[in-house]
Structure 1
Amino acid sequence: MSVLDLARPDIRALAPYSSARMEAQGGTVLLNANESSRPANIPGGDGLNRYPDPQPRALVETLAELYGCDAGRVLVTRGSDEAIDLLVRAFCRAGQDAVAISPPTFGMYAVCARIQGAAVIESPLDASGALDVAKLTAGVTPAVKIVFVCTPNNPTGNLVGMDVLAYLAHELAGRALLVVDEAYAEFSGAASAVSLIDEHENVAVLRTLSKAWSLAGARVGALVAHSEVIGLLRRIIPPYPLPSPCVEAALGALSYEGRRVQRHHLNEILTERARMFAELPHVPGVREVLPSHANFLAVRFDDAAGTYRRLLAAGVVVRDITKYPGLGDALRITIGTGNENDRVLAVLRAGAGA
Structure 2
Amino acid sequence: MDFTKLIRPHILSLTPYSSARDEYSGKAGIFLDANENPYSSVLGKPFNRYPDPYQSEVKEKLAELKNTKPECIFLGNGSDEPIDLLIKALCEPKEENIVIMPPTYGMYKVCADIQQVNIQQAPLTEDFEIDLDNVFDAVNAATKIIWVCSPNNPSGNILSKASILQIVKAFPDKLVVIDEAYIDFSTEPSFISELENYENIAVLQTFSKAWGMAGLRLGVAYAHPTLIQVLNKIKYPYNINIVTQGLLLEALDKNDEKDRLVAEILSNKLKLEKELSELEGVVKVFPSDSNMILVKFEKAKERFKFLLDKQIIVRDRSNVALCDDCLRITVGTAEENQRLLETLRTF
Please classify the TM superposition score into its range, dividing by the shorter chain length.
over 0.9
CA displacement at 1:53 relative to structure 2:
0.6
* Matching of residues 54-73 of structure 1 within 5 Å: 54-73=53-72
| Structure-2 change in CA distance of 1:201 and 1:87 (3 Å) | same
Q: Secondary structure at the match of 2:79?
A: helix
CA displacement at 1:322 relative to structure 2:
1.2
CA contact (8 A) 1:37 1:49 kept: yes
Equivalents in 2 of 1:86, 1:247: separation in Å?
Answer: 20
Letter in 2 for 1:302: E
Deviating 4+ runs (over 3 angstroms): none
Moved more, 341-350 or 259-268: 259-268
CA displacement at 1:2 relative to structure 2:
1.5
Equivalents in 1 of 2:46, 2:146: separation in Å?
Answer: 41
Q: C-alpha deviations, 1:195-236, integer Å up to 9, x for none?
A: 221121010000110100000000111100000000111110
Structure 2 residue 213 is the aligned partner of structure 1 residue 212? no
Alignment match, 1:84: 83
Alignment match, 1:32: 33
Moved more, 317-326 or 160-169: 160-169
Which of these residues, 223, 233, 236, is aligned with residue 235 of structure 1? 233
Letter in 2 for 1:277: E
CA displacement at 1:260 relative to structure 2:
2.4
Structure 2 residue 303 is the aligned partner of structure 1 residue 289? no
* Matching of residues 28-177 of structure 1 within 5 Å: 28-42=29-43, 45-174=44-173, 176-177=174-175
Alignment match, 2:194: 196
Equivalents in 2 of 1:320, 1:157: separation in Å?
Answer: 15
CA contact (8 A) 2:185 2:291 kept: yes
Letter in 2 for 1:289: V
Q: C-alpha deviations, 1:260-290, integer Å up to 9, x for none?
A: 2212111000101111111101111111111
Q: C-alpha deviations, 1:112-169, integer Å up to 9, x for none?
A: 0111110011111111111112211221011110000000000001211222222111
Letter in 2 for 1:77: G
CA displacement at 1:17 relative to structure 2:
1.1
Alignment match, 2:308: 312
CA displacement at 1:4 relative to structure 2:
3.7
Equivalenced residue count is 346
Equivalents in 1 of 2:60, 2:133: separation in Å?
Answer: 38
Alignment match, 1:247: 245
CA displacement at 1:13 relative to structure 2:
0.8
Alignment match, 1:328: 324
CA displacement at 1:61 relative to structure 2:
1.4
* TM-score (norm: length of structure 2): 0.97
CA contact (8 A) 1:183 1:211 kept: yes
Q: C-alpha deviations, 1:230-251, integer Å up to 9, x for none?
A: 0111110100011111112212
CA displacement at 1:11 relative to structure 2:
0.3
Q: Secondary structure at the match of 2:234?
A: coil
CA displacement at 1:18 relative to structure 2:
0.8
Q: C-alpha deviations, 1:183-204, integer Å up to 9, x for none?
A: 0000012111112211210100
Alignment match, 2:2: 2
Alignment match, 1:340: 336
Letter in 2 for 1:265: L
The unaligned stretches of length 5 or more in structure 1 are none
Alignment match, 2:268: 272
Letter in 2 for 1:10: H
Equivalents in 2 of 1:77, 1:50: separation in Å?
Answer: 20
Q: Secondary structure at the match of 2:295?
A: strand
Q: C-alpha deviations, 1:80-114, integer Å up to 9, x for none?
A: 00000000000001111110000000000000011
Equivalents in 2 of 1:283, 1:229: separation in Å?
Answer: 48
Moved more, 20-29 or 66-75: 20-29
Equivalents in 2 of 1:262, 1:232: separation in Å?
Answer: 31
Alignment match, 1:16: 16
Equivalents in 2 of 1:215, 1:4: separation in Å?
Answer: 36
CA contact (8 A) 2:129 2:160 kept: no
Equivalents in 1 of 2:132, 2:33: separation in Å?
Answer: 52
The unaligned stretches of length 5 or more in structure 2 are none
CA displacement at 1:339 relative to structure 2:
0.4
Letter in 2 for 1:12: L
Structure 2 residue 225 is the aligned partner of structure 1 residue 224? no
CA contact (8 A) 2:25 2:52 kept: no
Aligned residues with identical type, % of pairs: 38
Letter in 1 for 2:196: D
| Structure-2 change in CA distance of 1:4 and 1:201 (3 Å) | farther
Q: Secondary structure at the match of 1:18?
A: coil
Equivalents in 1 of 2:333, 2:250: separation in Å?
Answer: 23
CA contact (8 A) 1:4 1:229 kept: no
Letter in 2 for 1:51: Y
